[in-house]
Amino acid sequence: MSSKPPVKPVPTPPISVVPARSVLPPTKPSRAEAEAAVTTILRWIGDNPARDGLHETPARVVRAYEEYFKGYDEDPEAILQKTFEETEGYDNMIVLRGIRFESHCEHHMAPIIGRAWVAYLPRGRVVGISKLARVVEVYAKRLQIQEKMTAQIANAIETVLQPHGVGVVLKAEHHCMTTRGVMKPGTDLVTSHMTGAFRDNPMTRQEFLGMIED
């Protein structure tokens, strides 16, 4: 009896790997391209970009966006570099309260309007209080989610000043849910990020939280 010929294995097709999205920033478009994009949106919503009330709108929008998102051109850690050591041994909590900020949601590019409370326990050196407000401003002037922004502010202060601890609380109204979508005006989001003594010491954390206004 003749033997059957061996069965050749069926080759397994190669597994296609979808390349990860590039993390490199795209080439920045020109101002003319940005204005053309605004013109396209105006046409898309059903209006006429050539009418008197809109013919300068693309240029105005691009200038406004330069202001809204100027935080991309600033380094928050560089802002904190200048410090003062002549503090007469002051080592208690430093709190800057109610810093107003305006940001934009990275999901809908809708406004985020809120206030920030920033605190730290100095370790031999302090920074000018305006610098704390500027750090908040730099991160606010980028497309954001509030949770990330809260951590970014705290981490920048922690990295540069190396204090005994940092506490940051943000309260903000998000227009992506108050003026669209679920339409719930009057609601705000509260986020916090604590490091060092603010995380580990309940009394320190409570002292800080007690300074936060409703």
Q: 16-30, 64-78, 104-118, 172-186: which has the minimum mean pLDDT? A: 16-30
Do 46 and 122 lie in one domain? The reply is no
DSSP-derived 3-state class of residue 113? strand
Please give the biggest Cα pair distance in the chain.
104
144 is catalytic: no
Average pLDDT, the chain: 92
| pTM of this structure | 0.86
Q: Which of 55, 66, 77, 107 is catalytic?
A: 107
Domain boundary among 17, 44, 68: 68
Count of positions (residues) in the chain:
214
For the cut 60, the answer to whether the pLDDT of residue 97 exceeds it is: yes
Domain annotation covers residue 4: no
CATH of the domain at 42: 1.10.286.10
Q: Spell 113-133 as b/e; 16+ CB within 10 A means b.
A: ebbbbbbbbbeeebbeeebbb
**Burial class, 141, CB count within 10 angstroms (exposed 0-12 / middle 13-18 / buried 19+):** buried
Domain annotation covers residue 195: yes
Q: 171-175, 197-201, 210-214: which has the minimum mean pLDDT? A: 210-214
Q: Which of 102, 108, 158, 173 is catalytic?
A: 108
Q: What is the pLDDT of residue 86?
A: 83
Q: What is the pLDDT of residue 87?
A: 86
Overall number of domains in the chain = 2
106 is catalytic: yes
CATH of the domain at 94: 3.30.1130.10
Q: Which of 74, 102, 158, 176 is catalytic?
A: 176
Domain annotation covers residue 151: yes
Whether the Cβ atoms of residue 205 and residue 192 lie closer than 8 Å to each other: no
Do 186 and 139 lie in one domain? The reply is yes
Do 123 and 190 lie in one domain? The reply is yes
Domain boundary among 21, 49, 68: 68
108 is catalytic: yes
Q: What is the mean pLDDT of residues 106-115?
A: 98
Q: What is the pLDDT of residue 70?
A: 98
Do 94 and 185 lie in one domain? The reply is yes
Do 141 and 53 lie in one domain? The reply is no
Q: How confident is the model at residue 65 (pLDDT cuts 50, 70, 90)?
A: very high
Q: What is the pLDDT of residue 68?
A: 98
Q: Which of 104, 164, 174, 193 is catalytic?
A: 174
107 is catalytic: yes
Q: What is the pLDDT of residue 36?
A: 98
Residue 165 is part of which domain span?
Answer: 72-209
Do 79 and 63 lie in one domain? The reply is no
Q: What is the pLDDT of residue 214?
A: 66
Do 45 and 97 lie in one domain? The reply is no
Do 93 and 50 lie in one domain? The reply is no
Instruction: Enter the DSSP assignment of 82.
Output: -
Q: Which of 102, 106, 158, 207 is catalytic?
A: 106
For the cut 70, the answer to whether the pLDDT of residue 21 exceeds it is: no
Rounding to the nearest 10 degrees, give the CA dihedral for residues 207, 79, 115, 151: -70
Do 63 and 154 lie in one domain? The reply is no
Q: Which of 144, 146, 175, 193 is catalytic?
A: 146
Do 63 and 162 lie in one domain? The reply is no
Q: Which of 35, 104, 105, 175 is catalytic?
A: 105
Q: What is the pLDDT of residue 12?
A: 56
Q: What is the pLDDT of residue 89?
A: 87
pLDDT in tens, 125-146: 999 999 999 999 999 999 999 9
Do 43 and 76 lie in one domain? The reply is no
